[in-house]
Amino acid sequence: TLNEGNDYYEKMNIVTDKIVAKINNKSNLDYDHIVGVPYGSIPLAGVVSNKLGKSLLFVRKEEKNYGTQQLIEGNYEIGDSVILIEDVITFGTSILEIVEKIENAGLLIAGIISVFNRETGSIHDIMKKCGVSVDCIYNISKIGNYLCMNKKIDEFDYEKIVSSIAIEKKL
């Protein structure tokens, strides 16, 4: 599995290095914090924030009724901007929920980066609603094509991937 031994850390470094490179290649990108879309992207966001030397904010899916009772944990000020890190974009629901919470707290969205795009057409909806770019590291069609060309999957499996993209875009 992915969590076994050094392989996990190597893969985490490859992915987070690609995210950091995407962020650093945007010369006009101004941001103060990194946020991982709960909950799967939080480890990625933690590593990215460390590599960039930026603080990590933690946005809860729901407000706690004990302790600080904060929806967003971390040191920030109204008007600060964040980059959202997502692991997989399918329909964009999780991102839009977190964007609303971040904006309600007085923070701005500077950009969104996803590791994997399932190519359902939701990226355009997210960009339209948030007014920021959405960058992806990997796309399902390119991965499917790569796997097929390198004989890791057969034509039948590749066609299933391609047809699933077309079906999901119509939904």
CA angle 138, 97, 46 (to 5 degrees): 55
Q: Name the residue among 122, 155, 153, 151 with its Cα closest to residue 139.
A: 122
Rounded to 10 deg, the angle between the 140-149 and 155-170 helix axes is 170
pLDDT tens for 104-144 read 999 999 999 999 999 988 999 999 999 999 999 999 889 98
Backbone angles phi, psi at 57, to 5 degrees: -105, 145
Q: In the prediction, which pLDDT does 1 show?
A: 44
Is pTM, for the whole model, over 0.75?
A: yes
- Position of tokens 């399902």? 140
C-alpha–C-alpha distance, residues 85 and 56, integer Å:
11
pLDDT score recorded for residue 5: 63
d(CA 59, CA 39): 9
pLDDT at 28: 86
For position 86, what pLDDT does the model report? 97
Which regions of the chain are under pLDDT 70?
1-5, 64-69, 166-171
